[in-house]
Structure 1
Amino acid sequence: MMEQLLELSKLPAFILIFVRVTAFFVTIPLFSYRNVPTQHKIGFSFFLAWIMFYTVDIPVVIVNEMFIGLVLKEAIVGLAIGFMAYLIITAVQIAGGFIDFQMGFAIANVIDPQTGVQSPLIGQYLYTITLLLLLAVDGHHLLIDGIFYSYEMIPLDQLYIDFGNEPFILFVIETFNQMFMVAFLMSVPIVGCLFLVDVALGIVARTVPQLNVFVVGLPLKILVSFVVILISFSMFTILIENLFDLMLVSMRDLMQLMGETG
């Protein structure tokens, strides 16, 4: 009887863990996509929270007027950590958008079945390869490790997180900067080559006015783009590996900032 009462006293802590893990799977790459059934997301979150319940240090949580604040804090923490990982991975689609704009594919967006939004053609291609590489290097296990070790930096009984302090704002700006820098580095070989193709077509249009460069230019730019993508594909894999490192480091730094400002 005493053991049952002891387990019931830990139920509020389990609810807090379950809320953070569930919110984490709402925004994290791979696990949050539409092709993963909602029942599987909830079930996986429940069993993962059950495992964490017996492995992390659980403080005594009392159900009072502050408990709703703790639940909201846990939801915000899970959403923020997952969104940080998703934000870094989005750099691949941004790079694909830069490439598509120069290739002339910007008008032919496709619907991403994973997120339900429009995405560029080359961006969707690179994004799919990125997700496959993430699975190949067990990156999804590292993402789950991130939510597991978040309890060491952001305890359950921490009520307040200051999102308006200067270090947090500087961290967000620096993360956006690094994300766009990786996107630029991924797209600059193709975009640079297409810029040279545009210059060459401009010279041809001035020297040979009888030639319709608008008819010749589009298939030529598509051909050059595919050749450069094939040549620079090894560089893409290196940049994607750096993107994974940036994603994990950004998640860790975000959790440290949220734990320090509490």
Structure 2
Amino acid sequence: MEIVPYLTNDSNVIVFLLLLLRFSGVFAFFPFFDNQMISPSIRGAMIFFMAVLFYPLAHYELGQLSVIDLMIAGLFELMMGFLAGLMLQIVFAMISFSGELMSFSMGLTMASAYDPISGSQRPIVGQLLSMLALLVALSLDFHHIVLQLIAHSLDSVPLGGFVSIGSVEYYIEALGNFFVVGFSMAFPILAIILFSDIIFGMIMKTHPQFNLLAIGFPVKIAIAFVVLIIILPSIYVHFRREIESALFAIGEMF
């Protein structure tokens, strides 16, 4: 019977609500956790379960807070998940950007399909690279590292007291490298497509009867896919380095 007053204590309820909002920011903005294939009801149940599981680690005495203070504290918790998730979203966006460049150069821009992960229409090559990137992230125990960072944040960042200072440098560097890294991933495909266009142009000059649309177009796509298979390991070496630096920056922010 003594547990009922403990659970209904105002301070404990506020701690649980703020912890619930911290996990809500993670499940709403972090890659893999924000998967559109997961229904909102299941995601809400996961957020509640994680808040209950991590509640013993949130040993705070917040005391009495006004409604305005509680709203501001809840906003800080959501902003914490948003800013941390944005770091990882930038890394995954690099892969998507390189995939779109590859699709454009291969002439597969119109070959787009519904992406169940992002919930939008995307080129097929970009979807393939994004799903492989997600598998690489999971192989690095990305989802477990995120939960460990949240557990660490409960000791280093008080609930409702998040202030982001050290993450600005990472955002500037990541946004500055966004196009450079994305273009460098797609550069071998762009180069081989440009080289094949030059060769086909020379063939058209010497043999005007050569049917470029019937022969050249599928040949370019086949060559590009062969090169893509060859360069996939180097692409995901870049991706792994970027995601490790993003996780390190999140650890510094927490």
Give yes or no for TM over 0.5: yes
- For each residue in 1:165-216, what CA deviation from the matched residue of structure 2 results, as whole angstroms up to 9, or x when unmatched? 8x76553221122333332232111111111112222222333333233433
Equivalent residue, structure 1, for 2:29: 27
- For each residue in 1:38-82, what CA deviation from the matched residue of structure 2 results, as whole angstroms up to 9, or x when unmatched? 222112111212222211442424221311111111122122222
Instruction: Tell me whether 32-41 or 120-129 shows the greater mean CA deviation.
Output: 32-41
The CA deviation at 1:114 is: 1.8
Paired with 1:40 and 1:147, the residues of 2 have a C-alpha distance of 20
**1:131–1:157: structure 2 CA closer, same or farther, 3 Å change rule?**
closer
Q: 2:145 aligns with which of 142, 146, 153?
A: 142
Partner-residue secondary structure (3-state), 1:118: strand
Alignment of 1:175-194 (within 5 A): 175-194=174-193
Tell me if structure 2 keeps the 8 A contact 1:190–1:229: yes
Pair 1:80-2:80 in alignment: no
- For each residue in 1:78-105, what CA deviation from the matched residue of structure 2 results, as whole angstroms up to 9, or x when unmatched? 2222232223212211111010000000
Residue 132 of structure 1 aligns with an amino acid whose one-letter code is: L
Partner-residue secondary structure (3-state), 1:75: helix
Paired with 1:172 and 1:240, the residues of 2 have a C-alpha distance of 17
**1:57–1:172: structure 2 CA closer, same or farther, 3 Å change rule?**
same
Structure 2 unaligned runs (5+)? none
Tell me if structure 1 keeps the 8 A contact 2:27–2:47: yes
Q: TM-score, normalised by structure 1?
A: 0.85
Tell me if structure 1 keeps the 8 A contact 2:57–2:151: no
Pair 1:154-2:122 in alignment: no
Paired with 1:85 and 1:148, the residues of 2 have a C-alpha distance of 18
Q: TM-score, normalised by structure 2?
A: 0.87
Equivalent residue, structure 1, for 2:199: 200
**1:118–1:140: structure 2 CA closer, same or farther, 3 Å change rule?**
same
The CA deviation at 1:3 is: 6.1
User: Identity of aligned pairs, percent?
Assistant: 25
The CA deviation at 1:135 is: 2.3
Paired positions, count: 251
- For each residue in 1:5-42, what CA deviation from the matched residue of structure 2 results, as whole angstroms up to 9, or x when unmatched? 45413210111111111121011111211211222211
Alignment of 1:1-262 (within 5 A): 4-7=4-7, 8=9, 9-64=11-66, 65-158=68-161, 161=163, 169-253=168-252, 255=253
Paired with 1:135 and 1:56, the residues of 2 have a C-alpha distance of 27
CA RMSD in angstroms comes to: 2.4
